Structure 1
Amino acid sequence: MSRSLFLALPGVLSLLTVTSAIPSVSSVGSDLQILLHNDLYGNQSARGEAVIVLRTAQTQEDAAKACVAIGESLWSPASDPKLNDFLAYLSYGMEDESDSIPIDQLWVSSTSKGVCNTITSSGQTGSADCTARLPGLCTQSAALYSVNGTDTEYQTQVSAGDAVYTGYRDKLSFRFLGIRYGSYPERFTYSSPVSASGEVSALQFGSVCRQRTALIGSEDCLYLNIYTPFIPASTGGNLKPVMLYIHGGAFLSGSGSDAVFDGGNLASRGDVVVITINYRLGTFGFLVYGNNTGLNGNYGIGDMVTALEWVQRNIASFGGDPDHVTVFGQSAGAEGIRALLQSPPAAGLFSAAIMESDPRPAVYTRYLKRDQEVALQTMPILTLSGCVSGDVDAEVACLRNYDAASFFSLATIPANNPVVDGHYVLSPAIPFNGTGHVNKVPLLIGHMRDESASDLAQWLQTDNLTLSLASNGLPTLPAAEPDVFPIAKTDNSTTAIWNVTVQVSTESTFSCLDQATAYAAATTSIFPEVYYYQFNRSYQITTYPSGFPNKQLCNAPVTPTHPHGDPDGEYYKCHSGELTTVFGTWRLLGLPERDDNDTPFTQAVIDRWSSFGKTYNPNPDPTYLAIRGYTNTTLEITTSGAWDPVTADSQTLRQLQWPSRQDLFPAKDRCVALGQPLDYFLQPSAQVAASIP
């Protein structure tokens, strides 16, 4: 690595050409922290200052050399002191960190001979004896990550176990991509954590897993990606909470490298370590066969456990606290978390969970036994693949050697259901009555207001509710209960019918049983805390839903004053519409700012999600918000009040909009009519004892 740098030392301003090895905390002699006021406005931000903090105390000369070693120089504070107020975060929590050095002075750039300039965390400039030992501030020259960019110039190495991982930084975080976390197992067997050795490149994403979408990917796909604002010199202190994301896609598609889930903004603004993972999908991740074949299913669930085991062994070297891991996921990813919540091998591997839009098809509500799954999915796969022979061993061998791409081309749904396998999953449902294993962690759960609007097969231009429901595969009972499912009296009767159809689909497929999960958890105290939300503001990603005829319904209405859509107008808040907000990636994806509240709303959601990741409470610490300068979120919380947990006596949720508000669970009577009442998981039929097929 070679570049020219200005090196500012007392009385010296010289141009150096530096050729050096890739820097690490060992070679630099200090831990490294990227710090800025990330307001999510990206390159349009008026708060563009960023620094790399050398937290290890050293002389001014050593601090300057350390900055040069990472391709930077000592930082010059902005002339406007207000632009330096992001440094205040350096003093946050110091009273609770016995092993931390008080940040009362830090080295900055000096141009006068014999004078070594300093700045305090409160932004006060001064000077100190050049031989004093203080932390330092380096410039941060790396640009924001771009989905079309390949700039890995500012590389950094991290040693973890016997391996040395080479990643790079952008303006927001250190990025270590495409790290193999699991062994490449024989098809239909379980992965185990990889113990890498030697130098490992982590500069680009690994292969996605074989999947339905465009028949892309590889079976050798067990990679994870790390986004961290902090690399420690030692793993003894200052470690950050970890948030590990599990992607959705019906267990048939998706990957952790999707730009929608880029972890830079969440890591930077939330001051957490973000991890995204791949896991095996479809037939490769879930195929089941007979009891004596060894094909027990849940390979994809096992991959999630393997990733968590890798995190326990290695994440401290990347700045993450292995004792403080929150798993969060959306759609099938949320369903994966539901499985992890009742999985003995996952015990102790995570400390909190967030389930976004957990879908409720029948086989996800109560997991099937192996023989049921074989009849439902495996036998059609065997038949269509031509592997049926009557010889079980030969059939297994045929499946293991069958062309990978062809599995997704068969005229049947690939295997994509978790199953009661007797190891990763012991019972058909979470045993809220205490008869089986549960990983008892705080839970945040919720859904979009109109989850199913984009997924329904067709919008019939009809004023016949029964026909509309039946045409979309929904129960027609609501048509017979107009008092429970009222049809709005409007001039557009077909829209009124469609709205009820969307409501029935959303409630029967998502919200009723998600609310029943929260109620059962709160009533039985099976989880220490339960918080619930409903998104009433969304920003739909352009890549979803692909192939669905109704995706245009998920966009905010265009008006003369809002050419990109008015988020305060009436539109459908569809499945996946929260993702670019939770990760703060809609700007990264090239989506425009629709109104003045898009960015503040995104700020507030990230602050709430990262707060839950840090404290298991989605109400951010007011002191934290103040010291980081997160005034929009402070205003929102002051205006809207606290987000209350769900209790046995109070079924309450947070309506996430701008501003947000607290409401009671909606649609209790409709959920009863749909056969999914609040006590659904507390009924005897749901409390199935642990059963190994």
Structure 2
Amino acid sequence: MIMNLNSSVWTLLLVYVSFALCVTEFSPTVEIHQGRLRGVVKNDRKGGKFYSFLSVPYARKPVGNLRFMIPAWAEKWEGLLDAVSDLPMCLQHDLERNIIGQEDCLYLNVHTAELEAKDLKPVMVYIHGGGFAEGSGQDDLYGAEFLLPEGVVLVTINYRLGLFGFLNFENPEVGAFGNMGLKDQNMALRWVQRNIEKFGGNPKSVTIFGQSAGGASVHMHLLSPMSKGLFHRAIAQSGSALNAWSCNGQRDTGALVAKTLGFDGDSEMKMLPFLQSVSIEDILRIQENVTLFVPVHDLALASPVVETIDNEISFLPEHPEEIISAKGFQEVPFMIGYTDAEAIILDVEALLRTGNMGKLLTGSALLHTLNAKDEKTKEEITNQINSFYYGDLASTDRSKVYNLVGDAWVYWGAYNSLLAHSKMSHKDLYFYIFAADTELNYYKRLHPITSKYAGASHIDELGYLFKTKYTPPEINPDSVEAKSIEKVVKLWTNFAKYGNPTPKQEDFDIIWKPVIGDELNYLHIGTHDLKLGSNPYPERMAFWDRLHEEFTAKKLNLHTEL
């Protein structure tokens, strides 16, 4: 009887211990500044385990009297907070122009292979794109399965979008200065500094990286006095602060929106509480026609602006060009690049929205930076653009359209950014062109027509850095996809670890040369190989230089000034 009782007790103990071990393994917990979190266990692409903590609040809910205002620290909580569900989206429109997301959206995801590690790992913080009006840091598009085997900690973040993130008042006494979406990102970086050690991350080795509007955001953090000391390396993918759409928000949009929604009077001090009380549907109705492509030909309704104040809560006290020329940037290792066929996205978006190919009028690529105020000047510039890109006849060659769109929207801004930083003796500048073309180019494969196009569309490089909902369920280890993931992930994580994407020649049999002076050395990242090059598209870049010199009396061709 005693033996049987002891056996039963031992059996119960074993069951209890086994259950406890399972709970420990599948319910990782961590205590941060705000309270305790419970996450989930996942497997990376190489079969290793890692821990994900999802929808962690980093700032207070930006609702009520916090709508349009600078973010505040998230409140502490009691007990154990389940961090097991993916991020909510911030308010935005989907492809059918339906309202999706929620106003309470300032959360982030953290992925790590080791909690409270003795040897802290480099941290990579990703900032999503979407024209400052769309997107999220959700796990179904930015999964950590590819990056974590290389020994990094990954953080992905949300930030307020559209008017909720970029509405501004000209009167500084109102308090809504604009750039709140960028200040959300800044608050997330402060959260990382405060808490990331608990996740095994090194707060002294933080790399920020982002794509499109996220890439432009990365560059602006490099220039912002608010973000000094919060990161140590930066990667801007298909976006920079000198793109025509990056820092071109309209001024005093708070007054414009308030009056549009029926506010009676001129007191901006009263407009803010009015706008804080109206419905989200009313505000989103104002920006209903804001699309993924923020304009380059005109000022955007909801986009970053130079702020009307210059103090510790000013994110951009001056225009990016002025900050760079005064060497007011953080001189950290900086990588800028883009895809070889950015403008394929034009057709993907049009086909998904309307079922038809995209139409681009040359005027929509007429940069507002050319300052063409009258119709005669606009016509003259448009004629020069048509002549340069298309010749005497209307083009039926889609590649010519893509060259124009790519140059106007992405390439010329990256070119000027690199030259501007290089002119100010910024060291460790790396430039790339991404041209890999496999099944991982998920964005152009969203439609059967564009899936046949050669090259990498805007967004396509993300399929090599993150596991997404479009990633093939099985990737053969010997496939070109698997080899491409290894290559791209290694370049990006090397940069995050060392500030140099090719610190050892044996990794790639090639050394990626940095930009030196006006020599824009770059790495061409192809499907099967890596190639070195210098000064891509010289005639096209010189064309946009000449336009600006002619129509703005502003010499932007930095080659001759070095």
1:669 to 531, 539, 558: 539
Q: Among residues 181, 187, 191, which one is paired with 1:300 in the alignment?
A: 181
Q: Does 1:470 align with 2:362?
A: yes
CA spacing shift, 1:662–1:586, aligned 2, 3 Å: farther
How do 1:164-203 residues align onto structure 2 when only pairs under 5 Å count? Answer: 164-172=36-44, 173-185=50-62, 186-194=66-74, 196-198=76-78, 199-203=80-84
What is the CA–CA distance in structure 2 between the aligned matches of 1:432 and 1:392, rounded to whole Å? 29
| Per-residue Cα deviation, 1:410-436 (whole angstroms, up to 9, x for no partner) | 255484211112311111114466536
**TM (normalized to structure 2)?**
0.79
Q: Match of 1:507?
A: 407
Report deviation, 1:597. 1.0
1:161 to 14, 23, 33: 33
**How big is each residue's C-alpha offset from its partner over 1:652-690, in whole Å with a ceiling of 9 and x where there is no partner?**
11111111111112112211212379999xx96779xxx
Q: Trace 1:552-563 onto structure 2 (pairs within 5 A).
A: 552-555=448-451, 557=452
| CA positional deviation for 1:206 | 3.5
Residue 128 of structure 2 contacts residue 214 of structure 2 at CA under 8 Å; is this kept in 1? yes
Shift of 1:383: 3.7
Report the AA paired with residue 158 of structure 2.
N
Name the amino acid aligned to 2:539: D
Identity score, percent:
26
For 1:263 and 1:14, locate their aligned partners in 2 and report how far apart those are by CA, in whole Å.
38
Matched with 2:329 is 438
Q: Quick one: distance in 1 between partners of 2:170 and 2:444?
A: 36
* Structure 2 counterpart of 1:134: none
Cα drift, residue 238 of structure 1: 0.2
Match of 1:274 among 150, 154, 157: 154
Deviations 1:185-239 (A, max 9, x none): 3111111333534322211124221112231122111101011111126xxx300
Q: Does residue 98 of structure 2 align to residue 217 of structure 1?
A: no
Structure 2 residue runs without a partner (length 5+)? 1-9, 45-49, 291-299, 352-358, 367-381, 558-562
Q: 1:572-603: CA deviations, max 9, x gaps?
A: 42111111112244764658779931210111
Q: For the structure 1 residues 250 and 679, does the alpha-carbon distance in structure 2 shift closer, same or farther, using more than 3 Å as the test?
A: same
The counterpart of 2:110, out of the listed 226, 238, 248, is 226
Which of residues 509, 516, 526 in structure 1 aligns to 2:416? 516
2:319 aligned partner: 428
Give the SS at the match of 1:275: strand
Task: Provide the C-alpha distance between the structure 2 equivalents of 1:420 and 1:454, rounded to a whole number of angstroms.
Answer: 29
Q: Do the aligned partners of residues 367 and 384 (structure 1) sit closer, same or farther apart at CA in structure 2, a change above 3 Å counting? A: closer
- The reply on whether 1:455 has 2:331 as its aligned counterpart is no
Change (3 A) 1:611 1:586: farther
Per the alignment, residue 646 of structure 1 pairs with 515
**1:478-525 Cα distance to aligned partner (Å, 9 max, x none):** 43237xx7799xxxx9543x2111101101110122022112222322
Matched, 1:373 2:251: yes
Q: Deviations over 1:58-94 (max 9, x none)?
A: xxxxxxxxxx47767xxxxxxxxxxxxxxxxxxxxxx
* Residue number in structure 1 paired with 2:127: 246
Alignment CA distance shift 1:588-1:426 (3 Å) = same
CA distance in 2 between counterparts of 1:469 and 1:360 reads: 25
Structure-2 change in CA distance of 1:539 and 1:360 (3 Å) = farther
**In 2, distance between residues paired with 1:360 and 1:312?**
24
- 2:7 corresponding residue in structure 1: none
Distance (whole Å) between structure 1 residues aligned to residue 361 and residue 478 of structure 2: 35
Q: 1:583 to 1:668 in 2, by over 3 A?
A: same
* Change in CA separation of 1:502 and 1:437 when aligned onto 2, cut-off 3 Å: same
Find the residue that maps to 1:455 and give its secondary structure: helix
Matches within 5 A, 1:18-37: 18=16
Which piece of structure 1 moves more, 318-327 or 384-393? 384-393
Match of 2:432 among 527, 533, 538: 533
| Contact 2:208/2:233, CA 8 A, preserved across alignment | yes
Partner of 1:599: 482
TM-score normalised by structure 1 residue count: 0.64
Asked if the contact 2:213–2:246 (Cα under 8 Å) also holds between the matched residues in 1, the reply is: no
Contact kept? 1:207, 1:221, Cα under 8 Å: yes
* Aligned counterparts of 2:191 and 2:232: Cα–Cα separation in 1: 15
RMSD: 3.6
State the AA in 1 paired with 2:415. Q
- Which one of the candidate residues 200, 214, 219 is aligned to 1:333? 214
**Offset of residue 262 of structure 1:** 1.0
1:618, CA displacement in angstroms?
0.9
Q: What letter is aligned with 1:178?
A: S
Most deviating of 425-434 and 290-299: 425-434
Q: C-alpha deviations, 1:20-49, integer Å up to 9, x for none? A: 897xxxxxxxxxxxxxxxxxxxxxxxxxxx
1:401 aligned partner: 277
Q: Which residue of 2 aligns with 1:286?
A: 166
What is the rounded CA distance, in whole Å, between the counterparts of 1:666 and 1:677 in structure 2? 19
Q: Is the 8 A contact 1:512 1:678 kept in 2?
A: no
Change in Cα spacing, 1:392 to 1:378, as seen in structure 2 (3 Å) is closer
Aligned-partner residue type, residue 647 of structure 1: I
Looking at secondary structure, tell me which structure has more strand per residue: 1
Query: What letter matches 2:40 in structure 1?
Result: Y
Aligned length: 494
Answer whether contact 1:342 1:430 (CA < 8 A) is retained: no
Q: Which has the higher contact order (CA 8 A, sep 6+)?
A: 2
Equivalent AA in structure 1 for residue 514 of structure 2:
P
- Aligned equivalents of 2:487 and 2:35: distance in 1? 38
The structure whose Rg is larger is 1
Q: Does 1:391 align with 2:263?
A: no
Match of 1:562 in 2: none
Q: What's the counterpart of residue 580 of structure 1?
A: 463
